[in-house]
Structure 1
Amino acid sequence: MVRLISLLVGAGFVFVLALALFFTAKDAIQNPAPHTAEHAFHQHPENIHLSSAGFFGKFDREQVQRGFQVYKEVCAACHSLKYVAFRDLQKIGYSEAEVKAIANQWVIEQPSVNPETGEVATRKNLPSDHFPSPFANEVAARAANNNALPPDLSLMTKAREDGSNYVHALLMGYRDQPAELLREFPDAKTPDGLHYNPYFANLNIAMPPPITSDGQVTYTDGTKATKDQMARDVAAFLTWTAEPNLEARHAAGVAAIIFLLIFVYLTWGAYQNVWRNVKH
């Protein structure tokens, strides 16, 4: 009796799933998704082949340092990096003295309170501090950016699909709207105050092009700062901020696979040894 009930319950469950699948497919056929400008003209980023990509990927520390320089001189005016501390920069090759100097010289200081008067004040950054926000609060951020809120960049490459490639493509993707788009979708003209970018989800982004010309940043290592190079470098830096332990994770994965291979070999050897005298 119990077995019969179990079979009936299982059959009912399968029937409900099949019914749901049928009606979902029917609705998709009868009411297909509308053809929109976003679907027709949105582009997917190309692979920029960062050294950190792939199973054995490792950070190119010189490139990550250049990316930090781009963030510092271009992006930091609008975008925060609240999950990264100044002292974390030692992981990409900066010395302790250099980190102290970067923190001390950072344009935005830490909010503080005067212990004697209770008045709001500021103080110099310490290596243990996280990167401060360029704005006092969300209202100030929106007021300075045409009511758009600049997102924090700490985890951006993990928050977006194909994140590293997306960052590079977005920075390089600003252009005029194609005439074909306006012919096919006359109502899709980019509104005033926004900028056309086919790599952004709805094609129109509030952020003006941050990287506007070659040589916008002068790299300390002498690398030629083309627009493409700067976009690649800051993408590498934001890949590191989103996953600073990537190399350790890759190393642990390799070690785990090697261990499993050795374990399988020893298990096979033990099996052969135990059953070697047993005739089949």
Structure 2
Amino acid sequence: MSTMIKMVRSLAAVAALAIATPAVAAGANVEIHPQQWSFSGPFGFYDRGQLQRGFKVYQEVCQACHGLKQVAFRNLAENGGPSFSEDAAKQIASEYTVVDGPDDDGEMFDRPAILADRFPSPFPNVNAARAANGGAYPPDFSLLAKARAAQRGFPWFVFDIFTQYQESGPDYIYSLLTGYEEDPEGIEVPVGQYYNHSFLAGQFISMAPPLSDELVEYTDGSPMTVDQYAKDVSAFMMWAAEPHLEDRKKIGFRVMVFLIVFAGLLYFTKKQLWRNVDH
């Protein structure tokens, strides 16, 4: 029994270390800084204020280069998201122009966006996006929090199953946004690129540092710092990639409760049916 207790304690210690250890891509000298997110764990939920601030950062800083083509304006007013009022979502939509048509003459035309529309891309096509960004293509933000993540090697990913660590995407985005630094001594950074110690593709990135202190004005008293901006927009991107996260976790919890109760009923039913049978 004492040996079993020691094994359990050892596994718990390793699990705690797995949570605290930064996620690092195999073979890459990158620095990933895990954060405390409201949406982590089995009972996680989105912080509505944080999502609204993150959307503000996206609007004022990111949307000039990065699209959000999988998100519709109506999503901004749905439960489980930023929870803007319907009127506020309509106002946000009206600030964008989308291409519609054809009209009666067979021509395409521009019109103000409505709730049913998705966020328009800042560029008409990939080539135009590359031409405007020195050959680099700014990825769409819709699914980036799921598509970009530093992979945790063995044995950490094993414990992720039990700790339900699924925040490697926002952790990576936050680390990238806060990972810019002056060119290290002895390292020659190519012209037109910047050094970022958290960039998975080799520390040299074409995107200039997008954030600076007091760049976006917050009205809720939150700090107007690079660190806060990075956290808020990372959380917003997580919501864009998984807008039904809260419902998924609620359903998962109910299913686990049902399975536990069902297993208990099966056990006591078996005991009742076979109580007079010798084994």
TM-score (norm: length of structure 2): 0.79
Matched, 1:209 2:209: yes
Tell me the residue number matched to 2:89.
Answer: 99
CA contact (8 A) 1:135 1:141 kept: yes
Q: Distance in 2 between matches of 1:112 and 1:231?
A: 34
Structure 1 segments, 4+ long, off by >6 Å, are 38-41
Equivalent position amino acid for 1:146 in 2: G
- Alignment map for 1:35-46 (pairs within 5 Å): 42-46=29-33
Matched, 1:54 2:53: no
Q: How far does the alpha carbon of each residue in 1:203-231 deviate from its partner, in whole angstroms, 9 at most, with x for none?
A: 111111110x2111112323221110000
Q: Distance in 2 between matches of 1:40 and 1:174?
A: 20
Identify which range, 40-49 or 58-67, moves more after superposition. 40-49
- Alignment map for 1:46-85 (pairs within 5 Å): 46-85=33-72
Q: Distance in 2 between matches of 1:278 and 1:117?
A: 84
Tell me the residue number matched to 1:272.
Answer: 271
Q: What is the CA distance between 1:278 and its match in structure 2? A: 2.3
Tell me the residue number matched to 1:254.
Answer: 253
Tell me the residue number matched to 1:232.
Answer: 231
Name stretches of at least 5 consecutive residues in structure 1 with no aligned partner. 1-37, 183-188
Identify which range, 201-210 or 72-81, moves more after superposition. 201-210
Identity over aligned residues, as a percent? 45
Name stretches of at least 5 consecutive residues in structure 2 with no aligned partner. 1-24, 150-167
Structure 2 SS opposite 1:122: strand
Q: How far does the alpha carbon of each residue in 1:225-247 deviate from its partner, in whole angstroms, 9 at most, with x for none?
A: 11100000000000000000101
TM-score (norm: length of structure 1): 0.79
Tell me the residue number matched to 2:178.
Answer: 172
| Higher helix fraction (1 or 2) | 1
Q: What is the CA distance between 1:121 and its match in structure 2? A: 3.1
Tell me the residue number matched to 2:130.
Answer: 142
CA contact (8 A) 1:86 1:127 kept: yes
CA contact (8 A) 1:66 1:233 kept: yes
Q: What is the CA RMSD across the aligned residues, in angstroms? A: 1.8
Larger Cα-atom Rg: 1
CA contact (8 A) 2:181 2:195 kept: yes
